[in-house]
Structure 1
Amino acid sequence: MADQPRVRVLVRQNCHLCEEAIAVITAVCAETGDQWTADDVDADPDLVRRYTDQVPVTFVDGAQHDFWRVDPDRLRAALA
């Protein structure tokens, strides 16, 4: 599990909230040393069906953590 990214964010192209979420995730993970990954929600029909109205959607250790906005303090706490 150590090689797996702890944070996953579902994003889509041309999404300003996605860009903001990625900026927060990048900064927090740089502080904590955790890895993260981003996946295009529109590349998977099941993800579109499940999350299209919530993008960006953030997961920590496989569990949904946030959607629309990422609070840096809440993300730090989840990674602690």
Structure 2
Amino acid sequence: MTAPRITLIGKPGCHLCDDAREVIARVAADLGLAWAELSILDDPDLMSRYAEQIPVTLVDGRQHDYWRVDEGRLRVALGA
């Protein structure tokens, strides 16, 4: 299985994470890409790195955005 190109780092109950999830799910579905979601509550390293920035979007393992996901910018980063 191929590693997901998009990763959303957030936590349950985060309204900005909910918004980011919708955008990521839509873009991933449109482009036929896999994506993954990680919670800062499950990983102390993610908590220490991203607690004040969630949601954080990674593209190909590198930080792309935080707080909000711009759909057009995400599509460009994915080469769409």
Normalised TM-score (structure 1): 0.95
**RMSD after superposition:** 0.9
Per-residue Cα deviation, 1:13-48 (whole angstroms, up to 9, x for no partner):
100000000000000111111110001111111111
Could you tell me which residue of structure 1 aligns to residue 54 of structure 2? 55
Q: Does 1:22 find its partner at 2:21?
A: yes
Sequence identity percentage: 48
Q: Take 2:9 and 2:44, find their aligned partners in 1: how far apart are those partners?
A: 13
Q: Does 1:32 align with 2:31?
A: yes
The code of the aligned residue for 2:37 comes to A
Which structure 1 segments of 5+ residues have no match?
A: none
Report runs of 4+ in structure 1 exceeding 4 Å deviation.
Answer: none
1:41 paired to 2:40: yes
* Partners of 1:28 and 1:66 in 2: CA distance: 15
Contiguous gaps of at least 5 residues in structure 2: none
CA distance in 2, matches of 1:16, 1:4: 26
